[in-house]
Chain A
């Protein structure tokens, strides 16, 4: 009480990190540190896949069908060259998982970025313009919110497949998937940003900008946007995990990434066919990788939400 300074959200990235509560709460929660390290390792593996993975699963010259369906190295009949065994086409599971995680993460990041751009833009416009613009945009959001995201992604995916010429499906699968997931995830951002904008636009610094005569777009981008990014970051982290899961689900259902360059979801689907014939490793290992990745990212997101929310502190 003696210190009269109100603690406001500090600005400036370096200064913030140095003495921020964020860094403090990070250092004091082991779960979060483990999650962060796991995420970091998996991200690094995905980014540097060509150098880290022992084999290149997409290089047909390295793949030998005779190596198909080998169990993990510690099982009888396993080989040290394939630590986690091989799949039905003789591809090394470990390498395939690393490359698969890479695709999953790419799809995750790209679709979250797309959803974020759409959602933030809609939220800003909706909150600042108000009136009928707000009503129309938010009713659209409500309608979309009342369907499960996966259903919308399936719908968009289906429509895209129907419209695109045959033969280009596999090549365009990545973009179709990103668009489908991105378009089904924007609502959360829009709602959250709109709420924050409604609060911010009443503040006097916005009034000051209006008195100066700044055009609405400048006020929105330069003044309001930086003040509503906190919650957006949190949603993005949590939705990254969701996007990866959605990609895996779509791929598992066979409408996502094609088996020639499998993502984690595709791998699980392939493995699913072999689950009852005893080759459990084809589905269990990608599944475990997916669970660990999503869990780690989710823990990070949850922590970020709690740490940035002064009410929960």
Chain B
């Protein structure tokens, strides 16, 4: 096989006043025409650095400190800047993560394509315009002759990414580097984009480096995979081999941590490779422990813990001065029950209204119509703040972004103690402090974390702080809004295990919101599928995954990445062992 792009022994350094950081160490990779090389790894592994180094686009003060990059036999890393610029776009194309920011909002798609083609190719303007329409057609945008005159904001996210791909391909590059091309997109659009990229690579005989953190994307697209860990390639080989039979311990731990879509498991297997895991959790007896005591809300009530009846929420669109009174219906006549002690999953694509439901339940939003009944009490009818706070204490929430969900200016002890102090759950400061330390111990952070500030913790650890805060009021109902979608898979596995442990120990009722079906399958007892603010289907998890009734559910399930497809096809042997 001929090598198109050949990277050998590449090292990249970022000198700073606190010492030099080696972002990539002795990387050797190659891509052949018509081949997709996947580069996979967790955040900070140095994946994107390689892409930037090949393009000669390292952010200063980063520099290539060793190794060579050859494009079709010609060494390109030592070329002067002017020659590098002629290679960028012309011979190596680039696709970035965010389609919103990688297109110029002030120019039409056509202008951007034509400018790029005129810069790199020997074409007349009329020819370039004709080519632009052709390209837009090839990337699957309907009515190309008309849509090419549009501005980026007139395109949806998926269409924008298609336009970005057209832009990357317009100068007929030999190599395309795609850096997390589908991370910002919904699953159904992701599937289309991956399919498109695969087809274009084959048809045009382009070599592609696909950088991603998502094993599913790799499984669907890549021919070969390189696994990166802390700046080094730890393993490289054909996709099937890496996914099904990895040699390196890190690859094994990484793949083990990916939630399985095909069957339910009790806990995520944790092969802790990095060694930067959490402190061991203290075992405890709920009956004697603070978290289990004084559950003053144990009063009996009929029916489910949370009952949502015909809930509708609409937002005003357009400013005060514009005079328009348009509304956007985020949640549309939604009804569901969440039973005592169950984990209820809510799944859907972005904009389906999942998070709005969470905010309606906690009383941050007031519904336009419909009722939220909690433990037999209609929360939407409560007028006073004091009355509402009684119920607020019983329901707490865990958020998506660990970097913004804890106040950076407060100590961890103050963050966790705040709900305790506010709801007067401790009789003294000393007691509050003891409870906080206990909680931190409990979520696997250790009592010493109390004195620190959030910035001293990693994303996964911050999520634990957030969990400790949510538990501080001894809630009976916990809402998790995409609690792990901002985390790496290995951290995600730890956090999900923790949530499962806590849920079982404390008998919590949980609403688990996610766009990630495999995660939902591992976590939930029953699942509701949302689309456009409506509930499409509601069923027991296993029933839903095995025998979906609704077309949209079937569509979503079909889009799940199938890492284990081959293995599952071999028969139930492996599955039987685990079960």
- Interface size classification for chain A: 20 to 34
**Could you mark each residue 178-205 of chain A with 1 if its beta carbon is under 8 Å from any beta carbon of chain B, else 0?**
0000000000000000000000000111
A288 at the interface (CB under 8 A from B): no
A24 to B17, CA, bound (A): 9
CB of B24 to closest CB in A, whole Å: 8
Residues A212 and B43 in contact in the complex (CB < 8 Å), given A135-B320, A204-B401, A204-B404 = no
Contact B408 A8 (CB under 8 A): yes
B389 at the interface (CB under 8 A from A): yes
Contact B385 A11 (CB under 8 A): no
Contact B404 A203 (CB under 8 A): yes
Contact B231 A11 (CB under 8 A): no
Which residues on the B side are within 8 Å of A223 (C-beta)? 407, 410
Contact B389 A1 (CB under 8 A): no
Contact A213 B422 (CB under 8 A): yes
Of the candidates B21, B46, B409, B423, the one whose C-beta lies within 8 Å of that of A227 is: B409
Closest partner residue, chain B, to A208 (CB atom) = B405
Of the candidates B22, B422, B458, the one whose C-beta lies within 8 Å of that of A4 is: B458
Residues of B212-234 contacting chain A, CB below 8 A: 230-231
Stretch from B258-266, B371-379, B391-399 contacting the other chain: B391-399
Contact A1 B23 (CB under 8 A): yes
B49 at the interface (CB under 8 A from A): yes
Which residues on the A side are within 8 Å of B320 (C-beta)? 131-132, 135
CB of A28 to closest CB in B, whole Å: 9
A9 to B320, CA, bound (A): 35
Closest partner residue, chain A, to B454 (CB atom) = A8
Residues of A1-25 contacting chain B, CB below 8 A: 1-12, 24
Task: Give the residue among A5, A7, A132, A211 with the most B Cβ atoms within 10 A.
Answer: A211
Residues A204 and B400 in contact in the complex (CB < 8 Å), given A1-B49, A214-B422 = yes
Residues A207 and B453 in contact in the complex (CB < 8 Å), given A1-B231, A2-B46 = no
Which residues on the B side are within 8 Å of A7 (C-beta)? 455
Which residues on the B side are within 8 Å of A204 (C-beta)? 399-401, 404-405
A226 at the interface (CB under 8 A from B): yes
Which residues on the B side are within 8 Å of A227 (C-beta)? 407-409
Residues A11 and B409 in contact in the complex (CB < 8 Å), given A1-B49, A4-B458, A213-B422 = yes
B509 at the interface (CB under 8 A from A): no
A215 at the interface (CB under 8 A from B): yes
A209 to B407, CA, bound (A): 10
CB of A254 to closest CB in B, whole Å: 44
Contact B407 A210 (CB under 8 A): no
**Could you mark each residue 463-478 of chain B with 1 if its beta carbon is under 8 Å from any beta carbon of chain A, else 0?**
0001001000100000
Residues of B461-500 contacting chain A, CB below 8 A: 466, 469, 473
Which residues on the A side are within 8 Å of B389 (C-beta)? 213
Residues of B408-460 contacting chain A, CB below 8 A: 408-410, 418-419, 422-423, 453-455, 458
Of the candidates A9, A24, A132, A208, the one whose C-beta lies within 8 Å of that of B408 is: A9
A212 to B479, CA, bound (A): 13
Contact A5 B458 (CB under 8 A): yes
Residues of A53-97 contacting chain B, CB below 8 A: none
**Could you mark each residue 12-24 of chain B with 1 if its beta carbon is under 8 Å from any beta carbon of chain A, else 0?**
0010010001111
Contact B405 A3 (CB under 8 A): no
A7 to B458, CA, bound (A): 11
Closest partner residue, chain A, to B388 (CB atom) = A213
Contact A212 B458 (CB under 8 A): no
B280 at the interface (CB under 8 A from A): no
Of the candidates A1, A9, A12, A215, the one whose C-beta lies within 8 Å of that of B48 is: A1
B564 at the interface (CB under 8 A from A): no
Closest partner residue, chain B, to A214 (CB atom) = B422
A95 to B404, CA, bound (A): 53
Contact B21 A1 (CB under 8 A): yes
CB of B512 to closest CB in A, whole Å: 16
Residues A207 and B397 in contact in the complex (CB < 8 Å), given A4-B458, A11-B455, A212-B422 = yes
Residues A205 and B46 in contact in the complex (CB < 8 Å), given A1-B14, A212-B392 = no
Which residues on the B side are within 8 Å of A131 (C-beta)? 320
B403 at the interface (CB under 8 A from A): yes
Residues A207 and B364 in contact in the complex (CB < 8 Å), given A2-B21, A213-B393 = yes
Closest partner residue, chain B, to A21 (CB atom) = B17
Contact A205 B364 (CB under 8 A): no
Contact A8 B397 (CB under 8 A): no
- Contacts from A to B (Cβ < 8 Å): 1-12, 24, 131-132, 135, 203-205, 207-215, 223, 226-227
* A and B contact pairs by CB, cutoff 8 A, 28 listed: A1-B14, A1-B21, A1-B23, A1-B24, A2-B21, A2-B22, A2-B44, A2-B230, A7-B455, A8-B403, A8-B408, A11-B455, A12-B453, A24-B17, A203-B404, A210-B364, A211-B364, A212-B396, A212-B418, A212-B419, A212-B473, A213-B388, A213-B392, A213-B422, A213-B423, A223-B407, A223-B410, A227-B409
Lowest 6 A-B CB distances belong to which pairs? A204-B405, A4-B44, A1-B23, A226-B409, A204-B399, A213-B392
